[in-house]
Amino acid sequence: MNKRIWRIEYSLTICAIFAAILFFIPTSFSSKAAVNISKWNSEYNKIEYMFSAMAAQAESEIVQNMKNAKSFNEREKYMIKLVKPYLRLSDRLTPKKYVQHYMNGKIVPKKDFYYFDMLYNNQDDLIVGIKDIIDKTPDKPVFLMMIDTNGSKKPNTWGRDIFGLNIYSDGNINPIGYGWDVDKLRKDCSKNGSGLSCSQFYRIGGEFVE
């Protein structure tokens, strides 16, 4: 009899533990997501202010050198030099040690438009990537920037801990996905989408979907 009671108590204990795990795991994921989204919004505000401050240096030597650069790689290097003190960038990160993913789980291939190889560590444990856009079409962005809000820690995924923004020749910026309608944003910012437009979706108060 005592053995039977012990088995019942043991089973109830296991069930209680299992139920507790099921209860707390979603909360844990949601909390991590909320932290990353909050950090993205905070960093975006800082970067927006940074480019406003940089606009006042329009005649600086670095800015002039960037405008007169003879190649896209050269212009990219000047851009890095320009933003480095503002973003407190330190050592360059080896891309091999950092694999970028889309929200649907696919790895971002090296030839992809949203693949970054110019990656830098930040003193706030962020990873910052900057990429020159080889496109002289008017009203198009001239640079892309990505921010991984928790550095090299996983998941290293667009829309979860990686977010990005467009940089224009006049110094204005906007999040990737800016100008998309809400339905398109919501569809892309999901487990079946790329997650790129989450950068804009969360800026306008879109909800996180696990």
How many separate domains does the chain show?
Answer: 1
Q: Which residue reads 């950090």 in tokens? A: 39
Q: Report residue 50 as tokens.
A: 């940074």
22 part of a folded domain = no
19 part of a folded domain = no
More confident residue, 6 or 85: 85
Q: State what percent of residues in the chain have pLDDT above 90.
A: 44
98 part of a folded domain = yes
Full domain range(s) for residue 105? 37-201
Give the contacts of 192 (CB within 8 A, at least 6 positions apart). Answer: 104
Measured between alpha carbons, how far is 122 from 80 in angstroms, rounded to an integer? Answer: 13
Residue 13, pLDDT score: 53
pLDDT band at residue 45 under the 50/70/90 scheme: very high
Mean pLDDT of 26-31: 51
87 part of a folded domain = yes
